[in-house]
Structure 1
Amino acid sequence: MKIQSVAVLGAGAVGSYVIWGLSHKKDIRLGVIAEGERADRLKKGGCRINDEVYRPEVWSPQEAEDVDLLIVSLKYGSLPEALESIKTIVGEHTTVMSLMNGVDSEELIAEQVGDDRVLRSLIKVASHKEENGYYFNPETTLGIIFGELAAPFDSERVQAIESLFADTGIHFRSTEFIREEIWGKFRLNVCNNLPQAILGAGVGCYSDSTHMKVISDGLRRELEQIALAKGIDMSKMAGTSGRGSAVPASARYSTLQDLDAGRHTEIDMFSGTLMRMGEELGIPTPYNEYTYHMIKALEEKNDGLFDYQGERDKTTWAK
């Protein structure tokens, strides 16, 4: 098995890492999935990554049908409307890797295309968007982790993807504990991504404030209780996914980046998912409930809900 064609669905912060790494690989076709105005924009301007313009091919879902490898790197909220495109792309020879945040995107995709088509995976990349493109540090990026759910772990498709990523600059490794690795990244996102977003400060806040550590630890306890109840032994990856990419204390992770830009966040995928699982399992999730509603309120603030300037006739009584 040799991968000769790769399609990227979602050419944002995560997809840019894949495009950057595979663009110089000479023996494959690399394309970005897009239609309409977005396709026109990509064909004209390409993808600007680390101050360089990359020009992968631009394919419609129909043009990408039965591609060897489909990498899904969308925002979680965009997945439901993309499922039909994914069904169109995935053929008899297609492997799907979802590099999305959260713990259930692969199940949602598998419901549409079959579980046998999906290779579980995750990515750790501290990428951010600026006016003139996406930026990340290739050297400190931990990269892409992937693996089979059951033996043989050194499967033909795992070997094919290892061969694909070799000598590209992409950091990668396969693992026998991919479910635990995915939940390990989920833990990092929930505990280090969300409290920072509410505070509006760089990630140094976790080491500089005992109060922030208490909040982060509370979120962690709830997540680990749910993982344990679902049979996920997170100690299996204690030495690997327990850490993220090296970043400065001023770094602002994706949820805070979204709020800074006035966008809605992926909080439904983070605390929203844990609240739902906690309710199903009978596990209280007060830290996640508070975090969920606070970030939802910050989204409402960005939407202008609390802009009371000019509403002089509206009276609110203090009690």
Structure 2
Amino acid sequence: MVSVQEDIQMNIKKVAVLGAGAVGSYVIWGLSKRDGISLGVVAEGERAERLKKGCIINDVTYNPEVWTPQEAQGADLLIVSLKYGALPDALDSIAAVTADNTTVMSLMNGVDSEEIIAAKIGAEHVIGALIKVASHKEGSGYYFDPETTIGIIFGEFEAPYNSERVEAIEKLFENTGINYRVTENIREEIWSKFRLNVCNNLPQAILGAGVGCYEDSVHMQAISEGLRKELEDVAKAKGIDIDKAGKSSSYGSAVPPTARYSTLQDLDAGRHTEIDMFSGALMRMGQELGIPVPYNEFAYHMIKAIEEKNDGRFDYSNQDKRMSCSK
């Protein structure tokens, strides 16, 4: 069998995007400028019909093709940009798209989406990647600042790091507006972003305030540092040296103090969050390694309780009415 890297030969012609939300919109925005490729989003049913009307990104409507997984089969590059909770149900679609020549790039949060996808389609198809984009939804559109967006960081998990497919993806992203960087430490970079998400997403989500709270409150700083230390203890025990990612990976895209990161955006919208991928994953790893993670346990249960509140579990108004009538 011809390997994935040999087959691409620096010539990506068909790109499929699975997940056209906040992250997928950044990819669609950039690659819509690339001539000479077929660009499509993978969807079926009601979602497909909605996407056929176009994707509104920074007040412009983009119209990538809409493919079923079978129609997307054989894509040279499949970019997975789903919410973590949607990944298990999407694995069959990912497998349907993947052919011998297909490289899969996961731009999902967390530290294990590549492993989950690789278990389904084979590790030889998966390239390590992450994205840093402060994107948010307004109405039916998605918005981000192209100038301050750090963008996509990607690379091979093992040498050779300047592989054919790395060069092919670089060529694909050139002159599209997509910001990108290749790294030889992609595993550590992924954990570095994971650290940003855990330490910055979760305390803010519980408080319900803009990111300026980390500058303005020593209490918020203390919670963030507690989460950070636990994560770094787990990473060290797993043999992951996050410092290899470099200082540039310790920061996200520039945002104003009013900014609300993805976990708080989900809670604001009454959606369930990706807390299972953040503190939930650290709780599992901590238990396996014998490392206590009390800050993450508290964050996990607190955000789960807020989700329950949003679901209406603590709406006691009818009970109050019944009690007042019985007096």
| TM more than 0.5 | yes
Q: Structure 1 residues 249 and 93, CA, compared in 2 at 3 Å: closer, same or farther? A: same
Residue 19 of structure 1 aligns with which residue? 28
Q: Which residue of 1 aligns with 2:262?
A: 254
Cα deviation digits, residues 55-80 of structure 1 (max 9, x gap): 00000000011110000000000000
**How big is each residue's C-alpha offset from its partner over 1:89-139, in whole Å with a ceiling of 9 and x where there is no partner?**
000000000000000001000000000100000000000001030000000
1:39 maps to 48
Q: For residue 230 of structure 1, what is the amino acid of its counterpart?
A: K
Q: AA paired with 1:35?
A: E
Gaps of 5+ in 1: none
Q: Are positions 1:103 and 2:111 aligned together? A: yes
Which residue identity lines up with residue 288 of structure 1 in the other structure?
N
1:252-291 alignment runs, 5 A limit: 252-291=260-299
Q: Which residue, out of 93, 99, 111, partners 2:101?
A: 93
Please state whether the residue corresponding to 2:271 is helix, strand or coil.
coil
Aligned residues of 1:120 and 1:146 also touching (Cα < 8 A): yes
Partner Cα distance (1:247, 1:224) in 2: 25
Secondary structure in structure 2 of the residue aligned to 1:231:
coil
1:314/1:73 CA distance change after superposition, 3 Å: farther
In the TM superposition, residue 161 of structure 1 has moved relative to its aligned partner by 0.2
Give the C-alpha shift of residue 6 in structure 1: 0.2
Tell me how far 1:314 sits from its aligned partner: 5.9
Match of 1:130 among 118, 134, 138: 138
Superposition map of 1:1-319 within 5 A:
1=9, 2-43=11-52, 45-312=53-320, 313=322
CA contact (8 A) 1:51 1:132 kept: no
CA distance in 2, matches of 1:205, 1:42: 37
Instruction: State the TM-score, normalized to the length of structure 2.
Output: 0.95
Verify the 8 A CA contact 1:25 1:168 in the aligned structure 2. yes
**Which amino acid in structure 2 is aligned with residue 14 of structure 1?**
V
Cα distance in 1 for residues equivalent to 2:197 and 2:313: 27
3-state DSSP class of the match of 1:91?
A: coil
CA distance in 2 between partners of 1:168 and 1:191 (Å): 32
Q: Name the aligned partner's letter for residue 38 of structure 1.
A: R
State the alpha-carbon separation in 2 of the partners of residues 6 and 168 from structure 1: 14
Q: Report the alpha carbon displacement of residue 310 of structure 1 after superposing the two structures with TM.
A: 2.0
- Contact kept, 8 Å, 1:7 with 1:69, in 2: the verdict is yes
- Which secondary structure does the structure 2 equivalent of 1:96 belong to? strand
CA distance in 2, matches of 1:230, 1:314: 54
Query: Helix, strand or coil: the match of 1:31?
Result: strand
3-state SS of the aligned residue for 1:263? coil
SS at 1:193 equivalent: helix
**Residue 289 of structure 1: SS of its match in structure 2?**
helix
CA distance in 1, matches of 2:315, 2:97: 44
Letter in 1 for 2:124: D
Distance in 2, matches of 1:42 and 1:81, equals 19
Percent identity reads 71
Task: Give, in angstroms, the shift of residue 169 of structure 1.
Answer: 0.2
* CA drift at 1:211: 0.2
CA-based RMSD: 0.9
Structure 2 letter corresponding to 1:273: A
Shift of 1:38: 1.2
Q: Shift in Å at residue 150 of structure 1?
A: 1.2
- TM-score of the superposed pair, with normalisation by structure 1: 0.97
Q: Which amino acid aligns with 2:187?
A: R
Shift of 1:239: 1.5
